[in-house]
Chains A and B, each alone.
Chain A
Amino acid sequence: MPSPRDESGPDSRTFRQGITPDMGFAAASAAARRLKKLRRAGASSRASTRVAVLGSHTTSQLSAFLELFLFAGGIDGVIYEAPYGLMRHEILDPESELYRFAPQFVVLAGSRRDLSLPPPGARHQDVVHAADAVVTEWRTLGRIAHERSGCRVIQNNFEAPAWRTFGNLEMNHPGAIGEFVDRVNRGLRQDAPEWLTLHDLDGLAASVGRWQWGDERYFHLAKLPCAPEHLTIYAHSLAALISAHLGRSRKCLVLDLDNTLWGGVIGDDGMRGLSLGAGDPVGEAYVEFQRYVRALSERGVVLAVCSKNEESNAREPFERHPGMVLKLDDIACFVANWEDKATNLARIAETLNLGLDALVFVDDLPHERALVRSLLPDVAVPELPADPADYIRAIEQHRYFEVVSVTQEDLQRTAFYRSDMQRRFTGSSAADLDAFLQSLEMRASIGPIGPDELARATQLIGKSNQFNLTTRRHSATDVQRMAADPRWVTRVVALADRFGDQGLISVLLAEQRDDTLFIDTWLMSCRVLKRGVEQLLLNDVVAIARDRGICRIVGEYDPTSKNALVQDHYARLGFAPLDNGDHCATRWQLAVGAGWEPLSHHIGGSAR
């Protein structure tokens, strides 16, 4: 169901797909100008956000490029730029335009030129104090902005200059700028509050090369914070962080095989003909690429294979080739056949319960990339250079898989998906559904959202699309506040079964008003669909409601392009239609008096 606000004509799609971080300064400037015209003409995206950019130097180009890269990622960014040089005023004055603008994100775009350096010859103790003073000042500015507007603060760390007046001792001597910048950056990371996200500007400068990053001419002429040609990746990096906070990072890397994971064509060249492994420089490049892919997988990116091959041929290197780093166990969904890749990608997305906009498709063949770009515009399809030694950079530069936190669940995700597939396989042989669910030996634990659950619960709130009744993206600060408020009921469910620990998979937030409990948020990971978790959770919530003397529970379904899955959620649980809420939402109610009987399921107590 296309969202009515989505502007997805072929022209705008091509325009969107043409916005990449490696586009030059001139092309990005032109595109930013075109975007302003398009948006004045009414073009819009699926998501939107409000971002204030505050810096003590020129931020005009940076802001325009930020809007551009947000748009490329499907987000309409409304950008507010503080007047030049007024960053501190804007934050400190409660009546400033900044607060009237009501930002969701405030970007504190500082640079090393904002640092007041300790005097030459300062003693170690003075340097420590000077660094503490910098950290405290920026933390205070960020906290004020956060407390007054509820925004998330994204703050640059500081980039070391290219020159080193202390030479090789630069990082050891307390009087050196390099050491001072490093000390401040460490201070910023230490005990960073939840509302703060550090943007690694220093890492960006290092990846470009420090002499290339700074172009002193344009600082002297126009106070540009870095060389103009690198403003694109600077803005893109910020856009990727904001996207990640809005739950829009990609989740799955789909790989072609022949000439993508190894050199050669397995069906023609056979195992021995492949270029893969030590001794052959090109083969080593493929090994290095596979290591990169596996490292992504180990930190939570789901891997899939989409190849035009006989399935047995495609699997053979994974099972027997000594040069393979990736094993079949690393691949959550393996598709090898002769159908077109768009059909297969749609199947992969469906199998893994992911949206097409969660996929990145990597293929060495230009016509396959073109086909997928045109038929499935939501799938990200990076250009791939001819040389496999350049593959890592070609993918990495897009920052598809940006994360704001890495949870235990992320680190085990591929295993989750794989055991989920085994479970489906077992399911097909089970005599009936009840017997199957019984055979899973499921155990759950339910409780309020405490400090240990906050990160994962907020992550689920930020990214769950399908099993999500209202799709309200509460921040961790909001969730923390609800958890502390006696009027609110916050519940999380963790589930385990004989295949393993599923981790925290469901979140419910509800607010008591008089004798009614209003369910604000109810979501669940699609890994555990149709397992009885909803029934279990409702029983739990009803018990809490009765303890509080509540006589009815009201739930809401707010339709989006992705959550049709749960349109009958409340009806299935025995709720009766109440009325229509805002927009197209429907509201449902359940009387929880003496007549209500707990729902049956097959989940036992205590998952952990």
Chain B
Amino acid sequence: MSSLLEEVTGVIRELFEDDRIAVTESTSAPDVEGWDSLMHLNIIIAVEQRYRIRFSTAEIARLKEPGQNVGSLLAAIRAKTGASA
């Protein structure tokens, strides 16, 4: 498990108030109970604040499209922070 995935898992667990949630890069919203569009938005907002980054309107819109998964979110974070992890 990469450290970025661990960190984002932490963000997701905090928002869900549930420490048992496990995600991988291939996890997408339908895989997790309660991961609705509101939660999706909350995750993106929390990630922006956690990493002090700012996604563009188009980037957030893309992350909301069906078929996007945790891996897409990690890639978007890496692109903004320049992190290699």
Interface residues of A (CB under 8 A from B): 24-27, 29-30, 33-34, 37, 60-61, 216-218, 220-222, 228-229
Contacts and interface: CB of A to CB of B under 8 A. Distances in A.
Nearest to B47: A26
A30 B14 contact: yes
A29 B50 CA distance: 14
A216 B57 CA distance: 9
B5 interface: no
Nearest to B63: A221
Does more than half of chain B's interface fall in helix, strand or loop, or is it mixed?
helix
A452 B14 CA distance: 52
26 contacts: A25-B45, A25-B46, A25-B49, A26-B11, A26-B15, A26-B45, A26-B46, A26-B49, A26-B50, A29-B15, A29-B42, A30-B15, A33-B15, A33-B16, A37-B17, A60-B38, A61-B38, A61-B42, A216-B57, A217-B55, A221-B57, A221-B64, A222-B37, A222-B41, A228-B45, A229-B45
B60 interface: yes
Interface of B: 11, 14-17, 37-38, 41-42, 45-46, 49-50, 55-57, 60-61, 64
A26 B17 CA distance: 11
A218 B54 CA distance: 12
Contact of B60 (A24, A26, A221): A221
Given A60-B38, A221-B41, A222-B41, A33 B17 contact: yes
Contacts of A30: 14-17
B46 A217 contact: no
Contacts of B16: 30, 33
B37 to A, nearest CB: 8
A107 to B, nearest CB: 19
A217 B57 contact: yes
A517 to B, nearest CB: 54
Contacts of A221: 41, 57, 60-61, 64
Top 4 nearest A-B pairs (CB, nearest first) are A26-B46, A33-B17, A228-B45, A217-B57
A503 to B, nearest CB: 48
Given A217-B60, A220-B57, A34 B17 contact: yes
A183 B38 CA distance: 35
A357 to B, nearest CB: 28
A555 to B, nearest CB: 48
A220 B56 CA distance: 11
Nearest to A25: B45
A24 B49 contact: yes
Contacts of A60: 38
Contacts of B50: 26
Contacts of B17: 30, 33-34, 37
Nearest to A216: B57
A29 B64 contact: no
